[in-house]
Amino acid sequence: MIHEKIFQIIKNQRSQMVDTIMDLIRIPSLTGQETPAQKYMESLYAQLDGVKPVRVYPDIEKIKHLDAFIETDISYEDRYNLVAALEGNPAKKSIILNGHVDIVTPEPIQAWETDPFVPFLKANRLYGRGAGDMKSGLIANFFALKAILDAGLRPGGTVQLQSVIDEEAGGAGGTLFLLNSGYRADGFLVTEPHNLQITISHAGILYFKIRVMGKTAHGGLAHQGVNAIGKMIPIYLALEKLEQERAVKKRFPLYQKGSGQSCHLAVSKMIAGDWLGKVAGKAELSCRISFIPGETKAGIQALITELVRDVAKKDSWLREHPPEIVWCGWQNEPWLQDPEHPFISQLKAAGQMVLKAPPEIIGRASGNDARFSQYFSMPGGCIGPIAHNIHGPNEWVDMDSVEKLVKILALFILDWTQ
């Protein structure tokens, strides 16, 4: 049978997959520094018969008006996305296999057992920064199409391989720009690490900062000042209480299954004061809040605004010097794909053929570029390998799961585009 021939090809290419992922891990493609890795991907895509990779440089001014746009402070100069399309019959369904090449920082380096950019394989686990998130998925897309071509087959409709930048910063200059520029298809699949489960939803996410002004004074005359740190503490405590309340009250079954908790409010950073010898005159909290389908961005913004206002009412200084809320970075509504859509049911069938059981349908309290599909009238989904410690020290990906992913993708491409 055809699938047995493809499976054997993929099995035979296992060591080549490992080497290719290792090569890409060795390139430290932090967000904003993706070009060397994109050049590597370009040379890889060029090996596919009938495929000519195209560089797509983002022009952010063209997408700032979009609801899904996310502002970053990272320059887009000399950064580009790659699209490698194998053209097919326009009367048949097309598909995009999308993956991001950028990674987060490996800091703190001392927490790693080895150099994060010197990958190694141990007991089927491939270690290195980006091994799971998401260089293995990006390479799996390539090998799925390669296996089809090496088997002497050709998809019916067009297949696009997309290697994008900027995902870890919100994806505006990467996937959003590509889709808005017309690089679309009849189905959109991202191969982020997801334990070979099919993700059809993820939470809405908002980043925000709360700024409090105090009154500076010399440390020896501290009684004459108003410490902004102290004024921020009740706001922090109110945010922590809100996190605990929402964790209990706001539950979405797909997220409970995929992430264990449906929504979160994380206070991620605090900056306060500027000199050891004086009272802190300002303080700033940076936060991330997520929310479930049925909730809205406007509703969550109102919730936080009311919380800060209520805290300020109880303090004479804050009543006269109201805290400032700044909404920044990630600002997206929840994404939910219809699980009964043929795109998902056919992906599930391909997964069952490889895994001998239907892959679980889940949602995530985190986010990825699959959400952009909803803005361009495309069915979207996400499936990826088993990985651990993503964004943390000693990140690794399970290579058995990568091989299984490649098989699922190859079957799905042929089925969807026939």
What per-residue confidence (pLDDT) applies to 123?
A: 93
What integer pLDDT is reported at residue 2 of this predicted model? 83
Which residue has tokens 């892959």?
Answer: 359
- Quick one: 295 and 357 in the same domain? no
Kindly indicate the confidence band of residue 177, based on its pLDDT and cuts at 50, 70 and 90. Answer: very high
pLDDT tops 90 at residue 27: yes
Residues 59, 140: one domain? yes
Residue 185's pLDDT band (cuts 50, 70, 90): very high
Q: What is the pLDDT of residue 3?
A: 86
Residue ending a domain, among 285, 308, 332, is 332
Q: Where residue 154 falls among pLDDT bands split at 50, 70, 90?
A: very high
Asked if 118 and 33 sit in the same domain, the reply is: yes
Domain of residue 250 covers 205-332
Q: State whether 180 and 302 are in the same domain.
A: no
**Mean pLDDT of the 311-319 span:** 98
Residues 161 and 300 in one domain: no
187 and 225 belong to one structural domain: no
- Strand duo 54-56 + 125-127: pairing: unpaired
Residue 360 phi/psi, 5-degree rounding, is -70, 140
Token pair for residue 309? 């206002």
Mean residue pLDDT across the chain: 97
Residues 6+ apart with CB under 8 A from 138: 24, 41, 99, 100, 101, 163, 191
Mean pLDDT of 147-175: 97
CATH number of domain containing 342: 3.40.630.10
DSSP tag of 358:
P
Supply the pLDDT for residue 272. 97
**Among 163, 124, 6, CA closest to 387:** 124
Domain boundary among 267, 298, 332: 332
Indicate whether 373 and 392 sit together in one domain: yes
Checking if the pLDDT of 10 tops 90, the result is yes
Please report the pLDDT score of residue 80 as a whole number: 98
Q: Are 155 and 192 within one domain?
A: yes
Are both 308 and 347 inside the same structural domain?
Answer: no
The span from the CA of 409 to the CA of 387, in Å, is 18
Total domain count for the chain?
Answer: 2
Can you tell me the mean pLDDT for 280-309? Answer: 97
Considering the domain architecture, whether residues 258 and 317 belong to the same structural domain is answered as yes
Average pLDDT score over residue span 32-39: 98
- Looking at residue 345, its amino acid is S
Instruction: Give me the pLDDT at residue 402, please.
Output: 98
Average pLDDT over residues 332-338: 95
Q: Give the CATH number, domain containing residue 292.
A: 3.30.70.360
pLDDT value at 1 more than 80: no
Nearest alpha carbon to residue 204 among 328, 294, 291, 299: 291
Report if pTM > 0.85.
Answer: yes
For residue range 57-115, what is the model confidence (pLDDT) as tens digits? 999 999 999 989 998 889 999 999 999 999 999 999 999 999 999 999 999 999 999 99
Decide if pLDDT at 230 tops 80: yes
pLDDT tens-digit series, residues 190-205: 999 989 999 999 999 9
Over the stretch 403-417, which tens digit does the pLDDT of each residue have?
Answer: 999 999 999 999 999
Residue pointed to by tokens 């997206």:
332
From 307, 332, 357, give the residue that closes a domain: 332
With a cut of 90, say whether residue 329 has pLDDT above it: no
pLDDT of residue 263: 95
Q: Is residue 363 located within the same domain as residue 405?
A: yes
Q: Is the domain of 218 the same as that of 118? A: no
Report whether pLDDT(350) > 90: yes
Average pLDDT, integer, range 340-361: 98
